[in-house]
Amino acid sequence: MDFFSIKQNYYTGNFAHALQDIRKHTESEDDTLLFYKLKTLLALKKYEAGSFKANPIGVTFDIYVQFLKSRNISALESHVNTETASPYELNIFASALAIEGRYDESLEVCVYGIDNSESAGTTELLLLAIQVTLLDGQFSVAQTLFDNFIGAQEDNITSEDELIVNLAESYIKFATNQDTTSSNFYYFEELAQTFPTWKTQLGLLNLHLQQSNIEEAQGIINFLESDYYSVEQKEAAELYKPDFLANKITLAILSGSNNVDELKKELEQLDPNHALIQNNKKINSDFDEIVAKYNI
């Protein structure tokens, strides 16, 4: 079964269209279809617990959603048997571990699934593994994971898998400042032009900020604050607001604006667990420790 359109809409952040495509396959019980349906419903805040308990992936996802609310991972840890779980169940479990900041364990789960399964879902595990290693600052590990996967699966990668592989590679290039003004920039630019969604616009915005292209970055921010994006796409605007604010903070710092603290307070109120807020707290804490050390 071809899920290219579903995955294309999902990974470009066009969740409403992804769900429309998914609903065309009402008679299918395919695990890939269910995985993307669950993730899409959650992104759209339309997920209802217990709706898919006939499938092991649905049961695992229910427990995952409970974890997102409680931040207590114990039930998920007890439920998922790494050796018998499907790649999609491993993906759900590894995602929770990553949210917990347990990057090594999350990566271990991903790698186990990639190495021990030839079924659907291994490419998704690769993407998650790349994201986890980049979050953990293990850039060389991310590149090795990517190269090894391509070397082993090159002849088996379908068009829908290639979409995910290209995204994983773009993340590595962004994190390691590769092809910043060439192929990686053009990749996000083409995505933003071909699929003009909140997610693709934010991706391009990040590339401009990485290059300190202040005028271009401000142009995208103005575009995202226009009625088309902020009013007509209200659900997406709310979903991506924390990351949008994080980008506005970065631009404010680069341009020497005086509203940095105001934007940080707004982000902290909206999402106190956002990476930018947590990193900022860590930097301030480390600085305070240094000051205290030399004031003794």
- C-beta separation of 57 from 34 below 8 A: yes
Do 51 and 157 belong to one domain? yes
State whether 262 and 165 are in the same domain: no
Residues 174, 78: one domain? Answer: yes
Residue 141 shares a structural domain with residue 282 = no
Single residue among 149, 178, 207 that ends a domain in this structure: 178
Residue 45, domain CATH: 1.25.40.10
For 19-34, write each residue's pLDDT tens digit.
999 999 877 779 999 9
Kindly state whether residues 151 and 248 are assigned to the same domain: no
Q: How far apart are CA 149 and CA 228, in angstroms?
A: 40
| pLDDT confidence band for 295 (50 / 70 / 90) | low
Question: Are residues 171 and 255 located together in one domain of the fold?
Answer: no
Residue 60: its pLDDT value, please?
Answer: 97
Q: Can you tell me the distance from the alpha carbon of 198 to that of 244, in angstroms, rounded to the nearest whole number?
A: 9
Say yes or no: 15 and 97 in one domain: yes
How sure is the predictor about 232, in pLDDT bands with cuts at 50, 70 and 90? confident
201 and 84 in a single domain? The answer is no
Whether 126 shows a pLDDT value over 90: the answer reads yes
Q: What is the mean pLDDT of residues 89-97?
A: 98
What is the pLDDT, as a whole number, of residue 296? 59
Contact (Cβ atoms closer than 8 angstroms) between residue 115 and residue 81? no
pLDDT above 60: residue 287: no
**Domain edge (last residue) among 131, 152, 178:** 178
Question: pLDDT digits over 161-171, tens only?
Answer: 999 999 999 99
Report residue 293's pLDDT band, with 50, 70 and 90 as the boundaries: low
Predicted confidence at residue 97, as pLDDT, reads 98
Query: For position 284, what pLDDT does the model report?
Result: 65
What mean pLDDT is predicted for residues 94-103?
Answer: 96
Domain count, the chain: 2
Q: Given its phi and psi angles, is residue 256 left (phi above 0), alpha (psi -120 to 50 degrees) or beta?
A: left
Domain end among 178, 196, 225: 178
List, for residues 37-75, the tens digit of each pLDDT value: 999 999 999 999 988 988 999 999 999 999 999 999 999
Q: How far apart are the first and last CA of the chain?
A: 68
Between residues 204 and 293, which one has the greater pLDDT? 204
Model pTM score: 0.91
**Confidence grade of residue 294 (pLDDT, cut at 50, 70, 90):** low
Residues 198 and 160 in one domain: no
Instruction: Check whether residue 249 and residue 149 sit in a common domain.
Output: no
* Contact in structure between 182 and 220 (CB atoms under 8 Å): no
Together in a domain, 51 and 137: yes
pLDDT mean over 121-141: 97
Overall average pLDDT of the 123-137 stretch: 97
The pLDDT, as a whole number, for residue 160 is 92
- Both 2 and 110 in one domain: the answer is yes
- Per-residue pLDDT, averaged over 148-164, amounts to 91
For residue 277, the enclosing domain spans 180-296
Least confident range of 64-68, 249-253, 278-282:
278-282
Mean pLDDT, range 256-280, rounded to an integer = 90
- pLDDT of residue 240 exceeding 60, the answer is yes
Give the number of other Cβ atoms within 10 Å of residue 118's Cβ: 8
